[in-house]
Every structure is written in structure tokens, then in C-alpha cells.
Amino acid sequence: MEDIFFDFDQDAASDFTFWGQMDPNFQFQSQPDSILLDCATLTGQLSPWSSFGCQSVFPDAGLTFSDLDSQSPQLGFSAEVDSSSVDEPHEISKLRQRRLAPHHPYKVQRHAANIRERKRMLSINSAFEELRCHVPTFPYEKRLSKIDTLRLAIAYIALLREILTSGCDPKTYVDECMKNGYKNQTNAIWNTSDLTARLSWIKWD
């Protein structure tokens, strides 16, 4: 972890309240790189940068790297800094001086690319989260992994297609599958009885 996003030693909380979605009971964690994710979780959105109907952490879609930089004062000084020494006042001032040091152009560019990549991955993850909401899961089931989400979605789509083409009542079709065993025509890795069992939880109104 080369850098962190927020200036925890001063007004980290105000950074979050600026976004206006922080749970008042939220406890900051010591792991800087988990903050973004935890923030996303707590606010009920799937990604701070996601465009899925949620307010973005960076509401300005055209946010530039320099904007990010201004929001992340520690950008540019690396993890070699021992956080245990940050308590010392003169150490803090040293850190502040290093913070202002000019960045090597390559490092700045690489850092910008890292931020874009994180943003891109967060957007992918938010799409996975959306997808998880649309595949059948058991109540209290452990969160599906990405690969399981994809495989279950494939199996689910295949089953829905079969229901459509059969012209049967969906609930009847699923009940029949439960009784007789679901003859999946795809090579879906998901256990078919597992899929139909999941479907049995669906409310067919």
C-alpha cells in the first residue's frame, strides 16, 4: 500500500460528512485501504464511485487527478512512513514537508492510473453487487463470491429462458423441477437442484 486517501490525523470525519452519508456510529478503522469499502458498505451503496443510482463519493463525474490530490493530502508520500511515529509533533511536521515535495512525473502519472484502476474495479464490483441482488439466494446465505455470482446468474438465466419457452406457469415449472430434477441444457457448473431449491424461495405472485 503505497498511499492513503484521507488525512486521518486531522479531519477524517469531516471528509466523510462532506459526502453526507456516513453512519453516525461508524468507527474508523486503522486500515486505511479498507475505508473506501467500509464507507461504501455502510452507506448502502455498492461503490463510492458507482453510478448506480447512488450518490458518488466523488459527486463530480469529471473529477481529475488533481482534484483527488487535493482531497487526499497524503498523496505522494509512501507507506515507508511508520504510522507509529506520527504521534510525534515534529514527525508530523516532517511528514507535512514531505507531502509538499515535488513528485516525480512518472510516479504522479502512475498514481493517477492506480486511482483510475481502483475506480474502475469499484465500478465492476458495484455491478457484481447489483447482480447478486438479482440471483436467487437462500435467506442468510453467505455472500456469493464473484465467480459463483456469475455462474449462478448463467444458470438462472438459462432456467428462466426454459420457463419462458415452456409456456408453463413459473411456479409449477419450478415445482416440477424440484420433483423430477431439473434437466439443464447448459453446462452450468451450478448444481441444478441447488438452483431450483433457491428458486423455491422466490415469491411467485
- List residues binding DNA (CB under 7 A): 1-3, 31, 33, 36-37, 64-65, 109-118, 120-122, 125, 145-148
**Neighbour-count burial of 39, counting CB atoms closer than 10 A to its CB (0-12 exposed, 13-18 middle, 19+ buried):** buried
Cβ 171 to DNA, closest distance in Å?
31
Smallest separation, CB 151 to DNA (Å): 10
Using the minimum distance from each CB to DNA, give the nearer residue, 112 or 178.
Answer: 112
| Distance, C-alpha 140 to centroid of its chain | 20
| Shortest distance (Å) from residue 105 CB to DNA | 9
b (16+ CB within 10 A) / e for 45-76: bbbbbbeeebebbeeeeebeeeebbebbbbbb
- Closest contact distance (angstroms) between CB of 1 and DNA is 6
Residue 192 class from Cβ within 10 Å (0-12 exposed, 13-18 middle, 19+ buried)? middle
Shortest distance, CB of residue 39 to DNA, whole angstroms?
Answer: 11
Q: Smaller CB distance to DNA: residue 22 or 112?
A: 112
Residue 107 CB, shortest distance to DNA, in Å, is 8
Strands (E), the chain: none
The Cα 4–Cα 78 span in angstroms is 8
* Closer residue to DNA in complex, CB, 121/202: 121
Contacts 24+ apart (CB under 8 A), 69-72: 71/5, 71/15, 72/3, 72/4, 72/5, 72/6, 72/7
Residues 48, 19: Cα–Cα separation, whole Å:
10
